A = this chain, B = another copy of it.
């Protein structure tokens, strides 16, 4: 079965990335991120993010990136605040705790953390006479888009960042699927993201790379961050693998172009489901769609296309996830439409 909407990492890389890997393969380059491709990628990303004085580090994966940056930023007595649904709170196998730090959870509003909740939490923390017996909040972690495919607005991000600055909290944005937020509902640009936080990463793995996340520090990295990257096992000897990929994505806007493709296809899928009377678990504008569907129907549909089970909904219905990606074509959505009509 060759049509899949299961998630955004079932294929390899965008063909232009493979082409670039082939084209650069026999160029001798220094290791550990000092190659010319990494340097070019860093420059292109900082330029796209409107912070030419910042710093960029290229790492392999999301959990690795989160763990490395959180362990570099936090002091030994500090923890990191996240929504209860935040990736670091749930699906990173205790990576943050393994580096010695508690994840302090606040309520999730469709995957999002609210500035009001954060402000209230900090006010209560500061009013607590026993606070010195507890973990000190040192950092705030959000995902853009969230684990539920929802997107923070500029105002929401700047609101969170304002509370962070008031309370001396480092504000960090996990952008595993950042492209799909930028092209799918965020009312701003990459430069707005960079201006709204102390650190963020631009996800590559789920936006057309074989692997790789570009960690951006708009105002400069934590001290000796290179060593912390190495200590976390996150430093590739052939850093060129990451450099070539991000250079390709950022030197002429390919990252945004392929993100936009995913959003356009997801929009078609949203209209398709709506038109057929389906309801969604929650409204999303990104590349992930959470459809409430009768179980029998889902069973029949799954014989024709691949998609993912998300969570139970009722005795007769479940929620299923349909995701588009950089490679999704109009033909794929056409196929989904016929498959759906056949299955109904």
Contacts and interface: CB of A to CB of B under 8 A. Distances in A.
A284 to B, nearest CB: 20
A91 B133 contact: yes
A233 B61 contact: yes
Interface stretch (A24-32, A156-164, A265-273): A24-32
Interface in A42-75: 60-68, 71-72, 75
A24 B238 CA distance: 22
Given A63-B235, A232-B95, A28 B306 contact: yes
B22 A98 contact: no
How many copies of the chain does the oligomer comprise?
4
B133 A227 contact: yes
A139 B94 CA distance: 15
A135 interface: yes
Interface string A1-44: 11010110111110100100110111111111000000000000
Nearest to A176: B237
Interface residues of A, number: 79
B227 A136 contact: yes
A295 interface: no
B28 A133 contact: no
Contacts of A4: 28
A211 B306 contact: no
Contact of A15 (B11, B25, B75): B25
Contact of A93 (B12, B133, B205, B223): B133
A205 B238 contact: yes
A154 to B, nearest CB: 28
A100 B100 CA distance: 5
A11 to B, nearest CB: 6
A231 B98 contact: yes
B31 A11 contact: no
B93 A237 contact: no
Interface string A78-91: 01000000000011
Contact of A75 (B6, B68, B90, B224): B224
Given A13-B21, A63-B230, 14 more contacts: A12-B24, A61-B235, A64-B234, A76-B231, A77-B93, A77-B223, A90-B134, A97-B102, A98-B101, A100-B100, A132-B230, A211-B211, A211-B241, A233-B234
25 contacts: A10-B30, A10-B31, A11-B25, A12-B240, A60-B211, A64-B232, A71-B76, A75-B224, A77-B94, A77-B223, A77-B224, A92-B231, A93-B228, A95-B233, A97-B102, A98-B99, A98-B101, A98-B231, A98-B232, A99-B100, A102-B103, A205-B237, A210-B238, A211-B211, A211-B238
